A and B are shown apart, each in its own frame.
Chain A
Amino acid sequence: MENHPKIALVGNPNSGKSSLFNQLTGLNQKVGNFAGVTVDKKTGSCRLSDAQTAEIIDLPGTYSLYPKSPDEQLVSDILLNAKDAWHPDLVVVVVDTTNLKRNLLLFSQVQDLHLPVILVLNMMDVARQSGLRVDLAALRQSLNATVIATNARTGEGISELKREIVSWTNRKPADIFTDNPDFASELTRGIREKFGLPNDYVAAQYAHHAKNARFLANGDKEWIGNLSEKYGFQPQQWQAKETLARFEQIRKIVSSAILKPATLPENALTKQLDKILLHRVWGFAVFLAILFLIFQAIFAWAQYPMDVIDNGIAQLKGWLHVVLPPSVLVDLLTDGLIAGIGGVVIFIPQIAILFAFISILEETGYMARVVFIMDRIMRVFGLNGKSVVPLISGVACAVPAIMATRSIDNRKDRLITIFVTPLMSCSARIPIFTILVALVVPDRTWLGVFNWQGVALMGLYLLGFLSAIFSAWILKILLHRKGRSFFVMEMPDYKMPRWQNVGLTIIEKVRAFVLEAGKIIVAISIVLWVLASYGPGNAMQTAETATRRNLAALPAAELGKHVAAARLQASYAGHFGKFIEPAIAPLGYDWKIGIALITSFAAREVFVGTISTIYSIGTDDNDTTTIKERLRTETNPRTGKAMFTPAVSFSLLIFYVFAMMCMSTLAVVHRETKGWTWPIIQLVYMTALAYAAAFVTYQVLK
């Protein structure tokens, strides 16, 4: 403990707190979850000196100790609860120097919590450029605190900060910032005594947070509630009074410590850029262009690394089959485990590219502008300007997209966004779409420019997007709004992105995807392998013998494929397919497609693998032309004609536009909504939608 202090980073959003965290910890950081809450816990270790390391926690950005979201609640919970595992030994409050007045509110509150505090004046470079000069000595004296100037972008001041942290053991909690007589009362004295708190302000915070604080036992909450009632405690009025009193004091401090100018001139670059980016025509045009660029990157550029991964996995499988003796375990390893891992790894390029874009847009400050120009439109559908990012992310993968809804503080808006995000066609649907589209849509151009297949693909994405918007609108009508939502949001000045932050975000998101979605995809792949490899009794063996006897005349390779198909039909998976056939027959599907429907629930990309196994084209999942040719020649045993008619193919395409994407999505919805109600409603709704739409498609086109 002595040589391993816990340090909390606290600050306003956009204060450069995360940059400072990255400077202090580099790659030694972990992202986890706090027990019981879905708030990212970013922690890391920092080497202070040869002898000392510190544990650093990057707490969510907040403007005050009065939380409006679960993220902000966490800050109060950790700072107020001395027994919390992350209760810090020292708090580093990071402030944006160019906006000292507003930022000092939080600092003054933290200082009054009786914790050792260091104030970090960040973004000194921007402040200096705009002609702002801060008298550090005067500020130190009037705040009675350690003040360090840094520039987290360049690393300036970081070693000084580390030196100050090293001497943390000598540090006493600073004197109280606002010695407001209102802080002390019969009420706070009572609470202080009962919980052994260091001062009246902390006690007042207990009274204020009694309802929502996670660390108070129900009995204690009730006790505080009763006492508050007895003394007529009015939390809102109290908070307003406190805020005004603090700003009154801050105003005096700032005016004496900031030499010139009194108010900062507007950032000229920001003003010019906003004229274009918030313009009623150019604003939307630029946003659409950026969207187009993101799509282009996800679908076209990501293809190269994805092909490399794909080939690598196929070669690894082939190599293992060669070097290892044939056995059930080797099959499990190659066709179950490695195939499953391959299905996860293949999406890393798309996720990395998507989050590179999102992180750059956030770092530069442009994301706040997207929220600003889109809010009015999104509100019509019960969404919110902040729903735009999750919806865009949903095009790559719904799992990180649903995690990105955490930035929406209103519960209803957030639920609606979570609910409709899986309707955005994710990248895992691309293999299905491309094969089926290639099968039924001619590869010709329209008007000389548009490729028909491309148009069809875009139509499918549009259909997904429109269904998301429409579903949101229905939910808006059905759901009751609980609690008020505020849109009040800071519009930060434009900045160059810090590439270290972008890089770390990409690593963090890819890691989250591989761990969250990956676990489930790999597990399901293994289960599927078992279901497809074993059957009741010796049914599979019987089927194999029968096939070998009947088709003995065929060449060995051809025979092998027929045997594989016969075995699959006799397996548990085959029985499943047969079992659901009556239910999917109205959509035009047979039991073979039935198997693929079931297996693809694990993850959409499994569809292609399953189809290739069922239609017995060996294990080469990646050769889409082969699969396409094979599907084209597949005949319907009842009609004797081609199985994959346009009606069946379109019905399948439509089904996959609407159907619930995968188990990992359900798992993440369960985690984010803290219950099974929403994932189940979502599954039922999307399945019903998919079934109805596919039914109509098939019956109309038949």
Chain B
Amino acid sequence: MALHPDKTVADMAIGQTATIVRLGDEELSLKLLEMGCLPGETLMLQHIAPLGDPVCIRVSGYNLSLRKAEAATILVRVMDSDTDNGVATNSIVSILPKPVTVA
């Protein structure tokens, strides 16, 4: 199973699917959380704007656009097509997002 723990949404290619590991920016994470970008949630990169920025992801059943700099705060594990997604997701849910640690 190939894991790329240092990847962010900004590094993803169109059509790639990934699991959210952690939200790296405390202030922005509050906004992203209420928009349904929760750790453990699966997302897919849908579109990249004509000039490379912003990007559009599909998460929680809808499309969300965000700037590349914002996308770079979402740390993800990109799923390779041959990996067992179920395992990847489960192991990640236990990893709590650092800035939003539940005390």
Contact = CB atoms under 8 A, between A and B. Distances in A.
B51 interface: yes
Given A372-B56, A375-B54, A63 B35 contact: yes
Given A236-B27, A244-B38, A376-B52, A488 B62 contact: no
A279 B38 CA distance: 29
Most buried by A among B49, B100, B102: B49
A491 B65 contact: yes
A283 B50 contact: yes
A511 interface: no
Interface string A469-484: 0000000000000001
Contacts of A368: 65
B34 to A, nearest CB: 4
Contact of A105 (B31, B34, B52, B65): B34
A255 interface: no
Nearest to A266: B58
B12 interface: no
B32 interface: yes
Contacts of B70: 486-488
Contact of A490 (B35, B67, B102): B35
Interface residues of A, number: 44
A576 interface: no
Interface size class of B (residues with CB under 8 A): 35 or more
Interface string A366-386: 001001110111000000010
Given A240-B30, A280-B50, A102 B36 contact: yes
A263 B61 contact: yes
A169 interface: no
Nearest to A376: B51
Nearest to B29: A240
Nearest to B53: A376
B100 A241 contact: yes
Nearest to A243: B33
A239 B35 contact: no
Interface string B46-83: 11011111101010111111110010000000000000
Nearest to A491: B63
A488 B61 contact: no
Contacts of B60: 99, 101-102
B54 A487 contact: yes
Contacts of B33: 240, 243-244, 247
A371 B64 CA distance: 13
B103 interface: yes
Contacts of A247: 33, 36, 38
B61 A487 contact: no
Contacts of B2: none
B56 A491 contact: yes
Contacts of B46: 274
B28 interface: yes
Given A102-B35, A247-B38, A484-B27, A489 B64 contact: yes
Nearest to B59: A102
A68 interface: yes
A490 B38 contact: no
A210 B102 CA distance: 23
B103 A241 contact: yes
A288 interface: no
Which of the listed residues B32, B46, B54 has the most CB atoms from chain A within 10 Å of its own CB?
B54
- Name which of B34, B53, B65, B67 has the most chain A CB atoms within 10 A of its CB: B34
Interface string A235-258: 011011101100100000000000
Interface in A39-64: 63-64
Nearest to B67: A487
A264 interface: yes
B100 A68 contact: no
A99 B51 CA distance: 29
B47 A278 contact: yes
A241 B30 CA distance: 10
Given A239-B30, A487-B65, A491-B56, A278 B50 contact: yes
A601 interface: no
- Candidate in A240, A263, A373 with the most chain B CB atoms within 10 angstroms: A240
Contacts of B65: 368, 371-372, 487-491
A236 B26 contact: yes
A99 B62 contact: yes
Given A240-B29, A244-B38, A244-B100, A101 B61 contact: yes
A429 B69 CA distance: 41
A491 B53 CA distance: 15
Nearest to A483: B27
B66 A278 contact: no
A490 B63 contact: yes
Given A102-B36, A284-B50, A376-B50, 6 more contacts: A236-B30, A240-B29, A240-B33, A241-B100, A283-B50, A486-B28
24 contacts: A63-B34, A63-B35, A99-B62, A102-B34, A102-B62, A237-B101, A241-B102, A243-B30, A264-B61, A278-B47, A279-B50, A280-B50, A368-B65, A372-B47, A373-B50, A375-B49, A486-B31, A487-B54, A487-B67, A488-B28, A488-B64, A489-B66, A490-B62, A493-B63
Q: Which are the 7 A-B pairs with shortest beta-carbon distances?
A: A240-B100, A280-B50, A491-B63, A376-B51, A102-B36, A64-B34, A487-B67
Interface of A: 63-64, 66, 68, 98-99, 101-102, 105, 236-237, 239-241, 243-244, 247, 263-264, 266, 270, 274, 278-280, 283-284, 368, 371-373, 375-377, 385, 484, 486-493
